[in-house]
Chains A and B, each alone.
Chain A
Amino acid sequence: MLYRENGQFKTTYAADQQIFPIAQDKWFVLGLIAFAFIGVPLLADEYLFRAILIPFLILALAALGVNLLVGYCGQITLGAGAFMAVGAYAAYNFLVRIDGMPLLGAILLGGLTTAGVGILFGIPSLRVRGLYLAVATLAAQFFCDWAFLRIKWFTNDSSSGSVSVSNLEMLGWSIDAPVEKYLFCLGIIVLFGLLAKNMTRATIGRQWMAIRDMDVAAEVIGIRPMFAKLSAFAVSSFFVGVAGALWGFVHLGSWEPAAFSVDRSFQLLFMVIIGGLGSIMGSFFGAAFIVVLPIFLNQFLPALGHLVGVSISTAAVSHAELIIFGSLIVFFLIVEPHGLARLWSIAKEKLRLWPFPH
């Protein structure tokens, strides 16, 4: 009843080309963003910020980057964790080696460096595709793990190989409190989300999708596969690199290469698959699913046991968490192979017909 576009006439091309052509969608998303900026800081406590919201936002940004590459351009990557590491270490080096380097500058330069590395490891995509490409990008993972463990220059000759960043400051605004860190991440992710959405609606995004759907046909109609594929690698790596820098700088504060292991790469790929390939919204759903659900289960199961009078050991909870988490992944993939984003759009379609379904 409420969600219906009757009477919303578009009289200009500009109105037709909006991101959210339906007014209800637009107001909903704007309201959500406003709530995230104003409402959440008033409501959430420190635990929610530091343990859930900040990691969720950062990994959603990383998943968004992976989604551009895997979901929009159809190039499977298993090197996302490595690209996060490149972003984090590059930003760290820019920050400590150049005097007076602003925080945002370091993070963006970290992202740009990652884009360069992404192009380098994207070159095999010009020849190999599918699973073979996944294996080729896995090489990026192993190479970066090795490089950050062994080459001391990257860690500023830290004896333990662990680097740390503190006293984050941007334009005189010192980012210390959890709520400030949250707002900083949120600002970045909103900008990058908008950027990604617009890119996928523009020429470059359409080229990626053409390559994804059939690269030979795309080439015939005049799309350069080399440009399309490498630009997808570059943009995706840029996003992932910025996320990596945020993960190191804002979330962990001190990190080692193990924070960006191959597990992280798989985690990001799962986020994209579960959230929905080729959907901006899906990246957020996927990140929420992977970040929040294990933590939720970990706290919920003992509480549930307590309620029925059974005390469950920590190890049992941890095992159960993995079992339930794994079976939910399988469940969602069977029920909705197109990801959580597809469930979302189905819900919207139903809502348009409600209360008179046919």
Chain B
Amino acid sequence: MKFRSLALAAALATVGLTATIASPSAQAQAKEQFFPVIVYRTGAYAANGAPWANGYVDYLKLVNAKGGINGVKLSFEECETGYATDRGVECYERLKGKGATLFQPLSTGITFALTEKAPADKIPLITAGYGRSESQNGAVFSWNFPLLGTYWVGADVAVQHIAKQLGGADKLKGKKIALVYHDSPYGKEPIPVLQELSKTLGFELQLLPVAHPGVEQKATWLQIRQSRPDNVLLWGWGVMNSTALKEAQATGFPREKMIGIWWAGAEPDVKDVGAGAKGYTALTLQHGAEPNSKVVKDMLDLVHAKGQGTGPKDEVGSVLYMRGLISAMLGVEGVRKAQERYGKGKVMTGEQVRWGLENLDLDQKVLDGMGFAGVMRPVQTSCLDHMGSSWVRVHTWDGGKWNFSTPDWYQANEKVLRPMVMLASGKYAEEKKITPRTPEQCKQ
């Protein structure tokens, strides 16, 4: 009986407290641009999610330290999803109610779910380097922005890189490439492009799915040992990557022949394997680990030196941290661009931010000015192209850190990808009964 009354008292106390707490948070925040931060700092993918989140939040703090966007300060709130789609949807609804004007879902599953909701709410979704590949076509996907590249870009560049190592695309004929992928929408994204390329270039494609979260890969690597592919593409996330590298080491597959996508090319993926992953290469979304860039120095001086850093100091400049930082930068620049049209120093709405993202024009001078010299190349979006750039570099793990072994930049082959994007987005438009926007509608 005592227990029960205790429980009752606790329940009543909580209800009372909530009532008192709920009231102040309801106050609208004036003159602040609200940035929702959807993260996963817990769960199976926490090791990768945490640096991303720290970079994202740190950049928002950096912008505030520099005076905001034309005087408009940024406010932000994190919401934890644990990589679960239903929690992601809950976060979206929660933060939407607080005045969010752009979302970065950070999970392909959540992106798919939000793609259905964003148009009705008029909130743009930035999926920098992930999400639906066909959403590059802004005429159909008016609210999706897969800025800086998609998985299709990655698949195409990976094949280009292999071809270059072999000394020409014609040498690919008769070769065998295996794709070891996370068995989810994320891992399946590159398959159509690889299938298309295998048809035109004449290599054989072997598909090897790995179930979430990817710690069980013995059977997969046994298959690889049997079929002896010439190259392995790794489309993994989180613990799956380090497991794959360990298995490759155990089965004796040369790490030099393995190429990871950008989500399989960060420090947490290889750190545990250490020297065992030496020679493993990964694509990068323009940037790699950039500890010497100016923006990182600014970050250390203006944010971390004042004790306002979100994460540990030594993480600043690592691959995933930079990705979070650049993702935040793209969102901030979208808002800045929108202010140019709709009034400097004003808080933008979702529709206005979309216009900003759609007319993003970050040339090298602007990027250098913000401290991104050597980190990334220009990004220019338009109504029809929501991706902005498809530059990719390749970096290699030397057992201790990531190095750009080949300083060349790759660019995706538009001749292959554009028709596929148009076809897939056309199919989507037909299914959803969307009329693609005409160039005239774009100008509005």
Contacts and interface: CB of A to CB of B under 8 A. Distances in A.
B165 interface: no
A151 interface: no
Given A167-B433, A298-B80, A149 B209 contact: yes
A255 interface: yes
Given A47-B97, A51-B90, A335-B4, A318 B85 contact: no
Given A160-B188, A252-B89, A258 B41 contact: no
Contacts of B108: 160, 162
Contact of B120 (A149, A176, A313): A176
A318 B41 contact: yes
Interface string B177-192: 0000001110011011
B93 A258 contact: no
B93 A315 contact: no
Interface string A143-171: 00100011000000001111010110000
B432 A46 contact: no
A213 interface: no
Given A50-B93, A149-B209, A159-B189, A317 B80 contact: yes
B409 interface: no
Given A51-B94, A160-B188, A331-B7, A315 B86 contact: no
Given A300-B14, A318-B41, A159 B424 contact: yes
Contact of A167 (B18, B86, B432): B432
A155 B25 CA distance: 42
A51 B95 CA distance: 11
A164 B116 contact: yes
| Chain B interface residue number, banded | 35 or more
B112 A256 contact: yes
B80 A166 contact: no
Interface in B102-152: 108-109, 112-113, 115-117, 120, 132
A333 to B, nearest CB: 12
A48 to B, nearest CB: 9
Contacts of B191: 159
Contact of B183 (A149, A166, A313, A322): A149
B42 interface: yes
A229 interface: no
Per DSSP, are chain A's interface residues mostly helix, strand or loop, or mixed?
A: helix
Interface residues of A, number: 47
B371 interface: no
Contacts of A55: 86, 90
Interface in B1-41: 3-4, 7, 14, 17-18, 20-22, 25, 39, 41
A96 B113 CA distance: 18
- The interface centre, meaning the residue of A253, A313, A314 with most chain B CB atoms within 10 A of its CB, is A314
B256 interface: no
Interface in A270-308: 295-296, 298-300, 303-304, 306-307
B414 interface: no
Contact of B113 (A160, A252, A300, A303): A252
B254 interface: no
A174 interface: no
Given A47-B97, A303-B18, A318-B42, 8 more contacts: A47-B94, A160-B185, A252-B113, A314-B78, A315-B42, A315-B80, A318-B80, A322-B42
Interface of A: 45-47, 50-51, 55, 96, 145, 149-150, 159-162, 164, 166-167, 176, 251-256, 258-259, 261, 295-296, 298-300, 303-304, 306-307, 313-315, 317-319, 322, 331, 334-335, 343
21 contacts: A46-B97, A47-B94, A145-B211, A149-B183, A149-B209, A159-B189, A159-B191, A160-B112, A160-B189, A164-B115, A251-B86, A251-B89, A254-B116, A255-B113, A256-B184, A300-B17, A304-B17, A307-B20, A314-B41, A314-B53, A335-B3
Please provide the 8 A-B residue pairs with the shortest distance between their CB atoms, ordered closest to farther: A253-B116, A315-B41, A51-B93, A160-B185, A303-B21, A314-B78, A162-B185, A254-B112
Interface of B: 3-4, 7, 14, 17-18, 20-22, 25, 39, 41-42, 46, 50, 53, 78-80, 82, 85-86, 89-90, 93-94, 96-97, 108-109, 112-113, 115-117, 120, 132, 183-185, 188-189, 191-192, 209, 211-212, 424, 431-433
